[in-house]
Structure 1
Amino acid sequence: MNAKTVAFVLYPGLTPLDLVGPLQVMSGLETVETVLGVQPRHHVIVVAESLEAVPTDTPVRIAATSTIEEAPEPDVVLVPGGGAATLRQLANPVLLDFLREADRSAEVVASVCTGSLLLAGAGLLDGRRATTHWAYHRFLDRLGATYVPQRWVEDDQYLTGAGVSAGIDTALRLAARLTTDDLARTVQLAIEYDPQPPHGGIDWRGVDRDSFRPRVEGFAREALADHPVMLARLLE
């Protein structure tokens, strides 16, 4: 049987870990499936508007393996997030049209961090439960979704992950959803994902989710200065 295509979306200015963490998980799944002879397999690609390397919000640059025109109907699509650069993509009709087209046939549509804002901006999360980076929760609600403060959230074919490092958890859930819990555990072992942060876990009871509101609204004004309708939608 032909391998199913898992397409990661690349665009300028995104947060690398949003992309690379889940990409490592899904590439690990592809390796495990090959070794074990699992069918159907999943083939991982990275898609963008062009094959040129793009900047990220760190010093590293990343290049895609395929253009979005070469992968119009992926079986799975995953959208990473970022800061102002991600908000800027809310006014990119090429990317939003690609997401709408992919949504018509994809088995799973997923996101990490503020990547869910792009899914919502494309109209895919209207009335659905979803998550995003905690500092951007108001934007997600204003784009038609219902923010849920969880590490990852599933609503039908949509799987959304919270901020940055949550992409690894989200991708492991995706791997289990596409195959089995046992295969996902094998991938977790292969990448030795056993988080033990030196300062312990986050006590979410003490986190003020609006504490970064002036900053993220500033990002929106910067990113969408030439798109007043979308800007007003985020800041209403």
Structure 2
Amino acid sequence: MAAPLRFGILMFPDLMQLDLAGPAEVFGAVPGAELHLLWKTREPVANSAGWRMVPTTTFADCPPLDVVCVPGGRGQVGLMDDDATLDFLRRASAGARFTTSVCTGSLVLGAAGLLRGYRAACHWMSRDQLALLGAIPVAERVVRDRDRITGGGVTAGIDFGLTVVAELCGPEAAKLVQLGIEYDPAPPFAAGSPEGAGPDLVAQAEARAKGRQEQRWAATRKAAERLA
């Protein structure tokens, strides 16, 4: 009997729940897959919406993974110089078939030194920060560069997850998962990207996120100094 595919998704305080839930739903639909939600302890952590989620595996107990995935969210800023998390990601990545992320999770991979020379995606507001960490920012919903697969902001996690499953199990397996979760998006507005939203909405979104983005830039610059 073939060994099960093992997916590990980082779980941390103040993560964006949908960054994790989209890929988790896709990965968990792979027959026989093992899905590990990873943190330092098994104590519940509060996501950015304020409700609690429970890790299933600690860094210390985590088995070898086929896929290691880092979601994003406000808590990503604190992970940029969290040695325990960055060291775990380096160890897990060394044995994984794919090292991956969703949204601003790519900045955490970058802070761990795992995206140097790789093309990578990120949330549109933070994409340019990847260059400080040695990565090549790409304005695409999902980016694969060798054994790195990165997704854009938040909802791109489902597209990203299906891409990972297709790489591991083939396109037909990914299509079955897509059909099972009825992923057939038809948004009511064409405002899901800066290009579609237009300059006025983009300016409003950037103003609303100004404080958080200043913190994120500061954390990225500090991580870049550490890498140097």
SS in 2 for 1:69: coil
Match of 2:216 among 199, 220, 226: 220
5+ residue gaps, structure 2, are none
Query: 2:22 matched to 1:26?
Result: no
| Runs of 4+ residues over 3 Å off in structure 1 | 200-211, 213-217, 231-234
2:205 pairs with 1:182: no
Deviations 1:163-222 (A, max 9, x none): 00000000000111110111100000111111011113646436568873844442237x
Amino acid in the other structure paired with 1:154 = R
Q: What is the TM-score normalised by the length of structure 2?
A: 0.88
> Per-residue displacement from partner, 1:43-90 (whole Å, max 9, x unpaired)?
11111100011011102211111101111531111110012x201100
Counterpart Cα distance in 2 of 1:111 and 1:43: 18
Within 5 Å, give how 1:185-200 maps onto structure 2.
Answer: 185-200=175-190
The gaps in structure 1 that reach 5 residues or longer are 34-40
Q: Residue 132 of structure 2 contacts residue 221 of structure 2 at CA under 8 Å; is this kept in 1?
A: no
Is this contact kept in 2: 1:72–1:101, CA < 8 A? Answer: no
Considering only aligned residues, what root-mean-square deviation do their CA atoms show, in Å? 2.4
Match of 2:50 among 39, 59, 76: 59
Contact persistence 1:73–1:101 (CA under 8 A) = no
How far apart, CA to CA, are the structure 2 residues paired with 1:135 and 1:89? 18
Which whole-Å CA distance do the structure 2 matches of 1:144 and 1:232 have between them? Answer: 8
Q: Tell me the secondary structure at the aligned position of residue 135 of structure 1.
A: coil
Structure-to-structure mapping, 1:97-176, within 5 angstroms? 97-176=87-166
Identity of aligned residues (%): 36
Alignment length (residue pairs):
219
- TM-score w.r.t. the length of structure 1 is 0.85
3-state SS of paired residue (2:139): coil
CA contact 2:111–2:224 (8 Å) conserved in 1: no
